[in-house]
Amino acid sequence: MRIGIGYDVHRLTEGRPLILGGITVPSPLGLDGHSDADVLTHAIIDALLGAAALGDIGQHFPDTDSAWKGADSIELLREVVRLIGAEGYAVGNVDAVVVLQRPKLRPHIDAMRARLAEVLEVVVGQVSIKATTGEGMGFAGREEGAAAHAVALLVACEA
Protein backbone atom coordinates (compact mmCIF):
# COMPACT_ATOMS: atom_id res chain seq x y z
CA MET A 1 0.00 0.00 0.00
CA ARG A 2 1.11 3.57 -0.65
CA ILE A 3 -0.23 6.80 0.81
CA GLY A 4 -0.21 10.28 -0.75
CA ILE A 5 -1.21 13.83 0.16
CA GLY A 6 -2.48 16.63 -2.06
CA TYR A 7 -3.26 20.31 -1.53
CA ASP A 8 -4.50 22.99 -3.91
CA VAL A 9 -5.87 26.50 -3.83
CA HIS A 10 -7.63 28.68 -6.41
CA ARG A 11 -8.83 32.25 -6.38
CA LEU A 12 -12.57 33.01 -6.31
CA THR A 13 -13.82 35.44 -8.91
CA GLU A 14 -17.00 36.61 -10.61
CA GLY A 15 -17.90 35.25 -14.03
CA ARG A 16 -16.51 31.75 -13.55
CA PRO A 17 -18.39 28.55 -12.69
CA LEU A 18 -17.72 26.87 -9.34
CA ILE A 19 -16.71 23.31 -10.26
CA LEU A 20 -15.82 20.91 -7.45
CA GLY A 21 -15.30 17.21 -7.90
CA GLY A 22 -16.61 17.53 -11.46
CA ILE A 23 -19.92 19.00 -10.28
CA THR A 24 -21.00 22.57 -11.07
CA VAL A 25 -22.22 24.15 -7.82
CA PRO A 26 -24.54 27.19 -8.18
CA SER A 27 -22.62 30.18 -6.78
CA PRO A 28 -22.14 33.89 -7.56
CA LEU A 29 -18.36 33.29 -7.43
CA GLY A 30 -16.36 30.63 -9.24
CA LEU A 31 -12.77 29.47 -9.21
CA ASP A 32 -10.21 31.05 -11.50
CA GLY A 33 -7.40 29.14 -13.18
CA HIS A 34 -5.84 27.89 -16.39
CA SER A 35 -8.00 24.75 -16.37
CA ASP A 36 -11.56 24.58 -15.01
CA ALA A 37 -9.91 25.27 -11.60
CA ASP A 38 -11.58 22.29 -9.91
CA VAL A 39 -9.58 22.65 -6.71
CA LEU A 40 -10.93 19.43 -5.18
CA THR A 41 -10.08 17.27 -8.19
CA HIS A 42 -6.62 18.89 -8.35
CA ALA A 43 -5.89 18.02 -4.71
CA ILE A 44 -7.01 14.42 -5.34
CA ILE A 45 -4.80 14.23 -8.45
CA ASP A 46 -1.80 15.35 -6.40
CA ALA A 47 -2.59 12.84 -3.63
CA LEU A 48 -2.70 10.02 -6.20
CA LEU A 49 0.47 11.15 -7.96
CA GLY A 50 2.15 11.55 -4.57
CA ALA A 51 1.19 8.06 -3.46
CA ALA A 52 2.77 6.64 -6.61
CA ALA A 53 5.76 9.05 -6.39
CA LEU A 54 4.92 10.23 -9.93
CA GLY A 55 5.52 13.95 -9.39
CA ASP A 56 2.76 16.53 -9.29
CA ILE A 57 -0.08 17.93 -11.37
CA GLY A 58 2.01 20.84 -12.70
CA GLN A 59 4.56 18.42 -14.08
CA HIS A 60 1.99 16.32 -15.94
CA PHE A 61 -0.37 19.13 -17.03
CA PRO A 62 1.66 22.39 -17.08
CA ASP A 63 -0.36 25.62 -17.00
CA THR A 64 2.04 26.99 -19.63
CA ASP A 65 0.71 24.41 -22.10
CA SER A 66 -2.31 25.64 -24.08
CA ALA A 67 -3.47 22.01 -24.35
CA TRP A 68 -4.72 22.28 -20.74
CA LYS A 69 -6.41 25.69 -21.06
CA GLY A 70 -9.97 25.31 -19.84
CA ALA A 71 -9.28 21.61 -19.31
CA ASP A 72 -11.92 19.42 -17.68
CA SER A 73 -10.07 18.32 -14.55
CA ILE A 74 -12.09 15.10 -14.42
CA GLU A 75 -10.33 14.11 -17.66
CA LEU A 76 -6.96 14.92 -16.07
CA LEU A 77 -7.93 12.69 -13.13
CA ARG A 78 -8.88 9.92 -15.55
CA GLU A 79 -5.40 10.15 -17.10
CA VAL A 80 -3.78 9.98 -13.64
CA VAL A 81 -5.80 6.86 -12.77
CA ARG A 82 -4.47 5.34 -16.00
CA LEU A 83 -0.89 6.29 -15.02
CA ILE A 84 -1.11 4.74 -11.56
CA GLY A 85 -2.73 1.65 -13.09
CA ALA A 86 0.26 1.34 -15.41
CA GLU A 87 2.46 1.38 -12.28
CA GLY A 88 0.47 -1.58 -10.90
CA TYR A 89 -1.74 0.30 -8.46
CA ALA A 90 -5.45 0.83 -7.94
CA VAL A 91 -7.16 3.34 -5.65
CA GLY A 92 -7.85 2.01 -2.15
CA ASN A 93 -9.64 5.07 -0.83
CA VAL A 94 -9.62 8.85 -1.03
CA ASP A 95 -10.52 11.34 1.69
CA ALA A 96 -10.69 15.09 1.08
CA VAL A 97 -11.68 18.39 2.68
CA VAL A 98 -12.80 21.47 0.74
CA VAL A 99 -12.35 24.81 2.51
CA LEU A 100 -14.89 27.26 1.11
CA GLN A 101 -16.80 29.98 2.95
CA ARG A 102 -19.98 29.61 0.86
CA PRO A 103 -22.18 28.23 -0.56
CA LYS A 104 -22.78 25.25 1.69
CA LEU A 105 -21.59 22.15 -0.15
CA ARG A 106 -23.52 19.49 1.77
CA PRO A 107 -26.32 19.20 -0.87
CA HIS A 108 -23.68 18.51 -3.56
CA ILE A 109 -21.28 16.18 -1.74
CA ASP A 110 -22.90 12.90 -2.79
CA ALA A 111 -22.93 13.95 -6.47
CA MET A 112 -19.20 14.77 -6.21
CA ARG A 113 -18.49 11.41 -4.57
CA ALA A 114 -20.38 9.53 -7.28
CA ARG A 115 -18.65 11.44 -10.09
CA LEU A 116 -15.20 10.96 -8.59
CA ALA A 117 -15.79 7.28 -7.74
CA GLU A 118 -16.67 6.55 -11.37
CA VAL A 119 -13.42 8.12 -12.61
CA LEU A 120 -11.35 6.59 -9.80
CA GLU A 121 -12.80 3.16 -10.73
CA VAL A 122 -13.98 2.50 -7.17
CA VAL A 123 -17.32 2.34 -5.38
CA VAL A 124 -18.69 5.47 -3.75
CA GLY A 125 -17.90 4.08 -0.28
CA GLN A 126 -14.21 4.49 -1.11
CA VAL A 127 -14.54 8.24 -1.68
CA SER A 128 -15.07 10.65 1.20
CA ILE A 129 -15.55 14.38 0.65
CA LYS A 130 -15.93 16.81 3.50
CA ALA A 131 -16.47 20.55 3.54
CA THR A 132 -15.64 23.28 6.00
CA THR A 133 -15.66 27.07 5.96
CA GLY A 134 -12.84 29.40 6.91
CA GLU A 135 -14.93 30.64 9.87
CA GLY A 136 -14.60 34.08 8.31
CA MET A 137 -10.81 34.02 8.71
CA GLY A 138 -8.01 33.95 6.17
CA PHE A 139 -8.35 33.84 2.37
CA ALA A 140 -11.15 31.26 2.48
CA GLY A 141 -13.06 33.15 5.16
CA ARG A 142 -12.78 36.39 3.18
CA GLU A 143 -14.02 34.55 0.06
CA GLU A 144 -10.81 35.34 -1.81
CA GLY A 145 -10.30 31.70 -2.64
CA ALA A 146 -10.94 28.08 -1.85
CA ALA A 147 -8.57 25.31 -0.83
CA ALA A 148 -8.73 21.54 -0.85
CA HIS A 149 -6.76 18.90 1.02
CA ALA A 150 -6.78 15.23 0.02
CA VAL A 151 -5.18 11.96 1.01
CA ALA A 152 -5.21 8.81 -1.10
CA LEU A 153 -4.29 5.23 -0.49
CA LEU A 154 -3.16 3.07 -3.40
CA VAL A 155 -3.19 -0.71 -3.32
CA ALA A 156 -1.05 -2.98 -5.48
CA CYS A 157 -3.15 -4.72 -8.14
CA GLU A 158 -3.18 -8.52 -8.35
CA ALA A 159 -0.82 -9.50 -11.16
Residues lying near Mg ion in the complex (CB under 5 A) are found at 8, 42
Minimum distance from residue 1 beta carbon to Mg ion (Å): 26
Pairing of strands 29-32, 18-20: unpaired
Report the interhelical angle of 106-120 vs 39-51 (nearest 10°). Answer: 40
User: Are 21 and 38 contacting, i.e. CB atoms less than 8 angstroms apart?
Assistant: yes
Q: Which is nearer to Mg ion, 5 or 86 (CB)?
A: 5
Distance CA 12, CA 147 (A): 10
Q: Which is nearer to Mg ion, 8 or 68 (CB)?
A: 8
Minimum distance from residue 112 beta carbon to Mg ion (Å): 16
Distance CA 25, CA 118 (A): 19
Q: What is the H or E stretch that residue 14 is in? A: strand 2-14
Q: Which is nearer to Mg ion, 52 or 148 (CB)?
A: 148
- Ranked by CB distance to Mg ion, the top (closest) residue is 42
Minimum distance from residue 39 beta carbon to Mg ion (Å): 6
Q: Which is nearer to Mg ion, 42 or 149 (CB)?
A: 42
Cα 95 → chain centroid: 10
Which region holds residue 131: left if phi is over 0, alpha if psi is between -120 and 50, else beta? beta
Minimum distance from residue 105 beta carbon to Mg ion (Å): 18
Q: Which is nearer to Mg ion, 8 or 30 (CB)?
A: 8
Minimum distance from residue 42 beta carbon to Mg ion (Å): 4
